A and B are shown apart, each in its own frame.
Chain A
Amino acid sequence: MSDSERRPTLARYSSGERTNHWLIALGFVLAALSGLALFHPALFWLGELFGGGPWTRVLHPFIGLFMLIVFLPLAASLWGDNRMQAADWQWLRRWKDVVNNREEHLPEVGRYNAGQKLLFFVLGACMIGLLLSGLVIWRAYFSLYFSIGVIRLASVVHAVCAFVLICAILLHIYAAIWVKGSLHAMLRGTVTPGWAWKHHRAWFRQITHAAHPRTRPD
């Protein structure tokens, strides 16, 4: 196969969406590193990256808010493509085929597969949880409006949501490495037809009008 045939040609993400995504990623990394500094003593040294303990405490909530604010437009624009459908549950039940790269056994996937959709909702839920609990434990401005009992609960909720979010994002990062070509989609915006055909065939058909399923020539 020649290089030109391999060149990514299908547009998957606009430059606006890419910018948005990487702003979220930046916000996440900074929020996670500054938060983890307070999460466990073994990671307190991460605070040095932000200018020491007090600066970490000062900056973290603002970084978190930044992340949340940049998350909103992307979440709004991808909302429609991330609704779970019947085939998605079937896809999830076949998770063994998913992790073993046996995509031919899976139902056809639209713009996003069920794993990506779940990630989308886990992120959304964690963001809401982090925002609400984060405001309650934000000592400098908001904690005075809440009872100590509520603050204790919020501390636990914040730590749990942060934990779930970090694990989810670690999986998300690995998935981007695992499924070759995904990273290019988010960095340069395009994918090859073969990539779309293999991983998101329903989406491929939708955007190319390639109507009926064809069997692979093998």
Chain B
Amino acid sequence: MALQSLDIVRRSATTTAPPGVRAAYTGTVAKLIDTTKCIGCKACQVACMEWNDLRDEIGSNVGVYENPGDLSSESWTLMRFTEYENPKGDLEWLIRKDGCMHCADPGCLKACPAPGAIVQYSNGIVDFHEENCIGCGYCIAGCPFDIPRISKRDHKAYKCTLCSDRVAVGLEPACIKACPTGALVFGTKEDMQQHAAERVEDLKSRGFEQAGLYDPPGVGGTHVMYVLHHADRPELYAGLAADPHISSLVGLWKGVSKPIALAAMAFTVLAGFFHFVRVGRNEIDERDEAAARQALEAAPQRNASQRPGAQPPEKRP
């Protein structure tokens, strides 16, 4: 898709500004996942398979509710189930729809070395453009949520697109359409935050004191947000990151150190050049050859073309 879409605001491995930086008047979109309303029916997983024409390998039942066992290049969203015993001794069945969070500050995009393989649209969606993907897997190292997966068949990275193709023509993502309980809603980020605020208030009035919205500031907020009953402990929900941010190692690897390293390499070459210009080559002259000749003549035997080490070390007086 290259730059054919003018609403790209960020483009991987690109040091000049993409067209979308000019304006984003319409605001951004967001998907709100209300874990308190989710019944774990996986209709969203099926809708995702259908719209994106994905079929994962049939796995085997290992006695857990997750099916398939993990996200993959063919499964872009996955219901994760946690059985949590709360302090009162009651069982809470926490179900979280996992998938790309569409970070405002995406670690995948930061890590990607291939120009235009990962883009961020002005509506907030982070999209992989597989035609530019080289399959290195750096996005996996960059993502704070462990989301992207490399296909074993074409060696390209895949993840939830937030149905960028549907959203671009005014439709809501396929998963939203399929959800029977209204746990999934889609709209502008602002609307979703307002809707979430109402939900949180309702939950608090029903005894979930710590209910809240998960829109982690460490990655600049996300365009997929959760309403959680226990927003103080996101890790309860199958290990949802409590304070996600781009790892400092990724920052070091992909930050200012790179241009500095490039400059240092160029400097090394220049240092050589200017040494040549100022000091010049280290050459031998007749006097060196003469001195060597004298030394050779004084030597007990002439072994001029002998290999070093081919004879016992000399004995010095």
> Residues of A at under 8 Å CB distance from B?
1, 5-6, 9-12, 14, 37-44, 47, 53-54, 56-58, 99-101, 103, 111, 137, 139-140, 143, 148-149, 151-153, 155-156, 159, 163, 166-167, 170-171, 173-174, 177-181, 190, 192-199, 203-212, 214, 216-218
Contact of A209 among B115, B134, B253, B314 (CB under 8 A): B314
Contact of B295 among A103, A210, A218 (CB under 8 A): A210
Q: Which 3 residue pairs spanning A and B have beta carbons closest together? A: A174-B272, A194-B289, A139-B137
Given known pairs A101-B279, A178-B276, A203-B308, the reply for A192 and B316 (CB within 8 Å) is no
Contacts of B307 in A (CB 8 A): 11, 14, 207
Closest chain B residue, CB of each to CB of A55: B134
- Whole-angstrom distance between the Cβ of B12 and the nearest chain A Cβ: 8
Contacts of A193 in B (CB 8 A): 289, 292-293, 295-296, 304
Interface class of chain A by DSSP: helix
Contacts of A170 in B (CB 8 A): 265, 268-269, 272
A209 pairs with B299, CB closer than 8 A: yes
- Whole-angstrom distance between the Cβ of A98 and the nearest chain B Cβ: 9
Give per-residue flags for B84-127: 1 if the beta carbon is below 8 A from chain A beta carbons, else 0. 00000000000000000000000000000111000000000000
Chain B, interface residues (CB within 8 Å), range = 35 or more
> Residues of B at under 8 Å CB distance from A?
13-15, 113-115, 132-138, 140-141, 146, 150, 155, 247, 249-250, 252-253, 258-259, 261-262, 264-265, 268-269, 271-272, 275-276, 279-296, 298-308, 311, 313-314, 316-317
Other than the given A99-B275, A174-B275, 14 more pairs (CB < 8 A) read A44-B115, A139-B136, A143-B137, A148-B146, A163-B261, A170-B268, A178-B281, A194-B292, A195-B284, A197-B284, A197-B295, A210-B298, A211-B298, A211-B316
Contact of B289 among A40, A159, A192, A210 (CB under 8 A): A192
10 contacts across the A-B interface (CB closer than 8 A): A10-B305, A38-B138, A44-B113, A57-B136, A178-B281, A194-B284, A206-B308, A209-B299, A216-B287, A218-B287
Contact of A214 among B134, B258, B298 (CB under 8 A): B298
- Whole-angstrom distance between the Cβ of B140 and the nearest chain A Cβ: 7
Instruction: Report the Cα distance A218→B134, complex, angstroms.
Output: 64
Instruction: Report the Cα distance A116→B162, complex, angstroms.
Output: 56
Instruction: Report the Cα distance A207→B291, complex, angstroms.
Output: 16
Contacts of B259 in A (CB 8 A): 40
Closest chain A residue, CB of each to CB of B273: A174
B136 pairs with A178, CB closer than 8 A: no
Contacts of A1 in B (CB 8 A): 286, 289
Closest chain B residue, CB of each to CB of A139: B137
Contacts of A151 in B (CB 8 A): 140-141
Which of A166, A211, A214 has the most chain B CB atoms inside 10 A of its CB? Answer: A211
Contacts of B279 in A (CB 8 A): 99-101
Which of B113, B275, B298 has the most chain A CB atoms inside 10 A of its CB? Answer: B113
